[in-house]
Amino acid sequence: MLNIIFIGAPGVGKGTQSALIEKDYSIAHIATGDMLRENISNGTELGKTAKSYMDKGELVPDSLVIDMLKARITKDDCKNGFMLDGFPRTMEQAKELSSILDSLNYKISAVIDIFASEEIIIDRLLKRGRADDNEETIKNRLKVFESQSKPVLDYYNGKAKIIKIESVGTPEEVYARIKKELDSL
């Protein structure tokens, strides 16, 4: 079972790389941002609550994301493993995830720390054209990521292999670097 966590700022390429890994390794790609946006578009109560936070570039409260994630990782498509894209983003989420995984007897195989410069990220996100992607919101999201998510890497140090990948070059070039690391696990 290959269980991966992607840690990286919005727009750094987690989704693109996760899709390539999902195809090659036959593991489920779980993007909490996509799950939240699906709830928003379906008009669920979770979606309405999440939207009020996302519109301001803030993180959705842990309890909402954790409940959604717990149900997701027990589905059949996660039997070979999963990739978490956008979770955990905080120490509290990392600790809660550890609790959930321990109760299921799952372990994290690797944490991929994927990164790029702020200029590259802003350019990518503005080209993506989502309603919640304007320069002011992007800069706020990057600040939130830096202050809350980076410490999560320290949490996993010694608990899983940390793979540092710079998201520069074509998606295929970035993926080749990731694949080399995953194949060495």
By percentage, how much of the chain surpasses pLDDT 90? 55
Q: Between 43 and 10, whose confidence is greater?
A: 43
The Cα–Cα gap between 106 and 102 comes to 6
* Known catalytic membership, residue 177: no
| Statement: residue 133 has pLDDT above 80 | no
- The two most distant CA atoms of the chain are separated, in Å, by 43
Which is nearest to 32 in space by CA: 78, 70, 69, 75? 69
Which residues are annotated binding-site positions for AMP? 32, 37, 58-60, 86-89, 93, 130, 141
Question: pLDDT-based confidence at 23, cuts 50/70/90?
Answer: very high
Predicted confidence at residue 83, as pLDDT, reads 95
At 115 the three-state DSSP class reads strand
Q: 2-183: which CATH architecture?
A: 3-Layer(aba) Sandwich (3.40)
* Known catalytic membership, residue 128: yes
| Statement: residue 38 has pLDDT above 90 | no
Q: How many residues belong to the chain?
A: 185
| Statement: residue 168 has pLDDT above 90 | yes
> CA 53, 152, 67: angle at the middle one, nearest 5?
50
* Known catalytic membership, residue 141: yes
Beta partners for residue 160, in sequence order: 157
Q: Cβ distance 14 to 84 under 8 Å?
A: no
Residue with tokens 């996660």: 78
